[in-house]
Amino acid sequence: MKIRVGMGFDVHRLVEGRKLVLGGIVIPHSLGLLGHSDADALIHAICDALLGAANMRDIGYHFPDTSDDTLDMDSKLILKQTMALIASKGYQLGNVDATICAERPKINPHVPAMKACLAQVMNCEEDQISIKATTTEKLGFTGREEGISAYATVLIMKD
Ligand code: MG
């Protein structure tokens, strides 16, 4: 059994007039994340962790933010395609452990829905996906509510 680990990190800016999409679901909030796609920072961090674990470059390499194909793209599709990319090298998911950094809104009430959504997209058990949330104690850009960041660690494996 070959086991590999990967990490991912992503940030998107919070602005007015955008939906807040995180972990594949829409979270009610006065601000949303700005980006070329739907700007789902959690999914982007998970994709980068998966690609890193398989040593397959990064999300920007496979899904450039200069392409019309990825404009307003649902990040669930990016995640689905990323799973297909690692499967093409024979890897399957072991587990994901992720952390979202946001001052507001409260993320924890939405974690069960995010896990259910991501498990469906990644074709795995909810138990394979851990999502945690923290504020940054009002410090830095997340603390000032200028943006939201996400970190992900994944383990992948093949026989
Ligand atoms: Mg991103």
pLDDT in tens, 93-113: 999 999 999 999 999 999 999
Span 26-45, pLDDT tens digits: 999 999 999 999 999 999 99
Task: For the full predicted model, state whether its pTM sits above 0.85.
Answer: yes
- Cα of 90 vs centre of ligand 1, distance in Å, is 26
- Cα of 157 vs centre of ligand 1, distance in Å, is 25
- Cα of 159 vs centre of ligand 1, distance in Å, is 31
- Cα of 18 vs centre of ligand 1, distance in Å, is 15
Tell me the percentage of the chain whose pLDDT exceeds 70: 100
* CB 147, CB 11: distance < 8 Å: yes
């924890």: which residue's tokens? 108
- Cα of 94 vs centre of ligand 1, distance in Å, is 23
Burial of 121 by CB count in 10 Å (0-12 exposed, 13-18 middle, 19+ buried)? buried
- Cα of 96 vs centre of ligand 1, distance in Å, is 18
Using omega within 30 degrees of 0 as the cis cutoff, is the peptide bond preceding 112 cis?
no
Contacts of 89 (CB under 8 A, 6+ apart): 54, 56, 158
